[in-house]
Amino acid sequence: MKKVFLPVVLLCLATTMFAQKANVSKAKTKAFNVEAPDFKGAKDLMDAALIHPETKDDIKTWWAAAQVYNEIQLQETEKQMMGFPFDADLREAALLRVLECALKTDELDQVPDKKGAIKPKYTKKIKSLLTDLFNSPSIQYCAGAAFERADFSTAAKAFDIYVEIPTLEFMKPLALDKDSNYVFIKYNAGIAHIQAAKAENMSKAIQYFGELTSSSYDDKNSVYQILSNLYLQVGDTANYVGTLEEAIEKIPGETYYINFLIEHLLKTNQSDKAVSYLEKAIANDPTFANYYFILGYVKEGLGLKDEAIVQYDKAIELNPDYVEAIFGKALNLYNRAVEADNKASEIQDNKLYQAERAKVDKMVLEAIPYFERVLELKPDDDQNLRTLKGIYYRFSSKDKEFERKFNEMEQRLKELGY
């Protein structure tokens, strides 16, 4: 019988290939050894197998890796929950690779056989493993730890795993996104991406908060505020405006959105559109005082002072304690007096000048009750206090009561540190 000798190169390759496949088995043994598991050793062996030319394209390698990494993250988190020493870094490193390995397994599982047929064998197993991963508290623990050390990129990656699993086509029938925590964690995932502050993170944050607008997440107000601000940050004006408009319809009692929408319209020289938008809003809800105040503010900016007063009065009629509307009317009246006073100072004839001054005094006196009402509602408002101080000083030399009020305003401002 002839002796057959393998060429040295082939023998080395075969030995290496068998060694790597043996290492995959060893990794599983180390990870699933109930009495004395060696998670670090298991991870090191799997890490090597996933990049070795002889095993990196083998579906069994990727499936073994998914199992090993998942077991590591599960066990390390269980230690933490039970109060035992655990390896947070190992848990994190393993956790962040489970989904990748599971998806690679699924990809290889979809490769047609020699006859061109696709006969997946791992789908059921992958679904079971990813369900375990989704239900594991490891993701929250891992992301939370990353947040604490301000590693927002890692926190975002961890949260992404949780958010992505229910969206996978073969996972959709399980409806994992109906879990009560799902939208809450998606919200936190968006926050993590914002904190990470890279272009790709901002894109992901926009995606998440956009999805949350039509989700079961309770606090839609914060969702819309964050989403509109994100669009503003990235310079997407169309979506910024669209988000504000959508929020106005869905959250009619919140003035945040209409305030910013009007501000945008005014900055972009669309005053007429701003007025039209407010008038439409008032038509839809004529009992909402805020809309009248904002419309008054816009008309004020357009120089339509009489029309502004009409809107302030409507707001005050609906809400007698609406301090912004009351202050708006007070300033409107006072600024008219200031303008009249400036014109009076140009008059050369003393008799006419004194007559105009008397008219100005009357205008100022008309504004006082509104400023004083603001004082009742917001006693520490420094702008109102300063204005009243100036008004009281104007009349203090002729009226002891105004002198007393002037001194009172001066004392209040000192107490507030002004």
| Strand ranges for 288-394 from DSSP E | none
Q: Check whether 21 has a pLDDT greater than 70.
A: no
pLDDT of res. 9: 44
- The pLDDT confidence band at residue 197, using thresholds 50, 70 and 90, is confident
Q: How does DSSP classify residue 349? A: -
Alpha helices in 32-176 (DSSP H): 39-51, 59-82, 88-109, 123-135, 138-148, 152-164
**pLDDT band for position 13 (cuts 50, 70, 90):** very low
Q: How far is CA 19 from CA 23, 28, 127, 359, 387, in A?
A: 6, 14, 30, 102, 86
Least confident of 110-119, 188-197, 401-410: 110-119
Asked if the model's pLDDT at residue 16 lies above 60, the reply is no
Q: What is the pTM of this model?
A: 0.76
What does the mean pLDDT of the chain come to? 91
Q: In Å, how far from its chain's centre is CA 283?
A: 31
What six digits make up the tokens of 248? 């106005």
Q: How far apart are CA 16 and CA 13, in angstroms?
A: 5
Question: Poorest-confidence range of 5-19, 58-72, 159-173?
Answer: 5-19
pLDDT at 252: 80
Average pLDDT for 103-119:
92
Mean pLDDT of 280-305: 91
Residues 6 or more apart from 182 whose CB is under 8 A from it?
162, 163, 166, 176
CA distance readout (Å), 152 to 4, 160, 394: 60, 12, 57
Measured distance CA(293)–CA(107) in Å, rounded: 59
The position carrying tokens 């009351």 is 326
Q: What is the pLDDT of residue 30?
A: 74
Taking the C-alpha atoms of residue 363 and residue 389, their distance in angstroms, rounded to an integer, is: 16
CA 196 to chain centre: 12
pLDDT tens column, 327-358: 999 999 999 999 999 999 999 999 999 999 99
Q: Is the pLDDT of residue 238 over 80?
A: yes
pLDDT of res. 2: 45
Mean pLDDT of the 111-116 span: 88
Reported in sequence order, the residue ranges of 200-301 that DSSP labels E, i.e. its strands, are none
Q: Where are the alpha helices (DSSP H) in 378-399?
A: 382-396
pLDDT level of residue 86 (50, 70, 90 thresholds): very high
Residue 1: pLDDT band by 50, 70, 90 thresholds? very low
Instruction: Reply yes or no on whether the pLDDT at 11 is more than 60.
Output: no
Residue with tokens 């269980």: 78
Distance between CA 283 and CA 45 in Å, rounded? 70
pLDDT at 113: 85
User: Could you tell me the residue ranges of all domains in the chain?
Assistant: 335-418
